[in-house]
Structures are given as structure tokens and as C-alpha cells.
Amino acid sequence: MGKRICKIEVHCVKVTIYFLRRPIMSETTRKKRVFSGVQPTGNIHIGNYLGALKQFVELQDDHDCIYCIVDEHAITLPQDPKELRKHILDVASLYLAIGIDPKKSIIFVQSDVPAHAELAWILTCNSYTGELFRMTQFKSKSQNKESAPSGLLMYPVLMAADILLYDTDVVPVGNDQKQHIELARDIAVRVNNTRKKTFVVPEGRFMKEGARIMALDVPTQKMSKSAENVHSRISLLDDDNKIKKSIMKSTTDSDGIIRFDIENKPGVSNLLSIYSALSGKTVESLVAEYDGKGYGDFKKDLVDVTIEALAPIKARYEEIRNSDELIEILKDGALRANDIATKTLKRVKDVYGLGIE
């Protein structure tokens, strides 16, 4: 470790600070480790933020957190190289802008740590085509065609490698990823049963029920950044006029009563969930506050709340997006992640007899 610090000091003082401030813990005393990754596929919307990224910030105070931009996952479908690299830095900047602290958490780009791809191959040799073909997301994305990109089929194995590489205890994910977490657990147990205790078996931490944010135009569907209608979502970097237009155009109903009823009033219920999550007020208090008022007043106030909540995120994003600090943080994160990953990979290769000592 001493040599690593001295070498880094020659190139970048800030990187040394991140290393020195990070507590050194033994395996028996370390906090539970969290790993999660986000694809660099465009602007993150408030559904992503309220459903997952906000939890990332909360977890870093009492967990050992590793957050990754999973660019290798992104190329399961064709990507423009320039756009992909831009989106990598966009997402990294948003990680920092929402409050992820590089002194508390490791933030890095997946492809900067080669062990992800190497472990993925070893895990491929410990998975079965039957369990991969049963993955709901593969069946959905391949649309049950006879032939589909192999990356779509192997995506969950790479995800398992991402998780198992860091001796991860907790994986915060949405319910749509539950099947993938189960596969990671199955592979870990399968290897452990034949190759002694090689992997930590991770647990999924699934999103809080109230954090499920739906599309503004079709509130029975999840908010998605791939939806054709740009007003179906609010992205973290949207300007104030776009936020206002999207909220004011959002689907409600014809009875004019503000109450939480997902089955009969999905649009209003969704707006109440967003309002509550961004303002910190309970849904019950909001229903009481707007008793007897119309949707117009409710939506105008939600516009103000949303703009106010996103303003500091946008300001921090603009401050860091094109800075040297961003690159330094990602390089430092890759070094720190690689330090953990190479130890795990060496352990795995040893139990399989790969390479020379």
C-alpha cells in the first residue's frame, strides 16, 4: 500500500487524499458491502433517482459502498462510441451531484477494471443455458426471436460477476432485477458447493414500495428514459420549462378529487408519490392540504417543488461535469475497485487451478 500511495502522489495529490481518508478494515470488522451499477444510456430521470439513486446516498453512511457505471452492459445493444463516452461522464457526474461522496464510496467505470470480464467467463462456465433462456428480460428484449445478440443472453452472468467480484453483501435493485439477483446467488452457491467457500452470497435490497414512479402520460407503466414521449418523464437535468410542461400535461382523471388510489386514480396517485418523495411530506398530509382544491393548483405547486428539489443537483452537475476532478475521482475509483477485484479474482482462479501461482 505504501508504494501505491507514493506512486499516486507523483501524479495527483487529490487521489492520495481519497486513499488516506478511507479507513482500512479487516474482513471481520468491515461494514456490509454494497454494490450497484447504472448503465450510461442517457439522462437519469426522477424514477431512477427516487427509486434507487437516493438510496445509494443513504447507504453510504453505514455501508462500504461501490458504485459502478456499467458501460460493458450498455454494449449488449449497438452504441455510438462518442455518445457512450459522453454518457459515462454524464452518469458519473450525476452520481456526484446527487450526493454520492468519493471519500465514502468507490465510484468507477466497469471497463476500467478488467476482472469484470474475466470473472464473467468463469461464471459463464458455471451457468446453464436453460436458466439464462428463462430470464424474463431476455425473453422481453429478444421478443422471442429465434436469434438475438448473445450479449442479451449473457447479460445476467456479467451482472453476477459485477456483484460477486466485490464480496458484495447487499445489492440495491428494482423488482425487475430480482431474477438476476437470484441467478447471482444461485451461481455463488453452486460454486461454493464444489469449490469450498469461494463467494459471498449476496442479498437483494429491493426498492421501497412508495418509491415506484410511473410514467406521467401512462401512469400504469413505469417511467422510462426510452419512452418516445419526452413528457412521460422528468429527467434530473431537464430545464424548468420542460419540467413545467411535463407536469402540467400529465395524465389525471375527470373527477377532480385529489386522493391516493392507485387502482382507480393512477395518475393522481403517481403525482402524489412524486410530490411526497421530493418534498418530504407524507401522502396523507398532501391529500389533506389539497382537500377541495383542483388539479391545476396541485400541479402548479408540484412544478415548484420539483424545480426546487432538482436545482442543487443541476448546479453541482454543471460544476463538476467538465472538471479535472471528475476524471481524478474515476481514476482513483478504478484503482480502489481494481485492488479489491484482483484479490477476489486470484482467489477464484486458485480454486479452479487457472494460471500459474
Q: Catalytic positions, please? A: 141, 222, 225
Say how far apart CA 270 and CA 262 lie, in whole Å.
Answer: 8
Say how far apart CA 325 and CA 126 lie, in whole Å.
Answer: 40
Say how far apart CA 282 and CA 223 lie, in whole Å.
Answer: 21
Q: What is the DSSP string of 45-109?
A: BHHHIIIIIHHHHHHTTTSEEEEEE-HHHHTTS---HHHHHHHHHHHHHHHHHTT--TTTEEEEE
Alpha-carbon radius of gyration of the chain:
22
- Strand, coil or helix: 215: coil
Say how far apart CA 56 and CA 92 lie, in whole Å.
Answer: 13
- Environment class of 189 (CB within 10 Å of its CB; exposed 0-12, middle 13-18, buried 19+): exposed
On whether the CB atoms of residues 179 and 189 are closer than 8 A, the answer is no
CA triple 174-183-354, angle to 5 deg: 130
Kindly report the length of the chain. 357
Q: Which of 63, 70, 14, 61 is nearest to 326 (CA)?
A: 14
Strands (E), the chain: 33-38, 64-69, 105-109, 170-173, 203-206
- Strand, coil or helix: 265: strand
Eight-class DSSP state of 127 = S
User: Within a 10 A sphere around the Cβ of 175, how many other Cβ atoms?
Assistant: 12
On whether the CB atoms of residues 316 and 101 are closer than 8 A, the answer is no
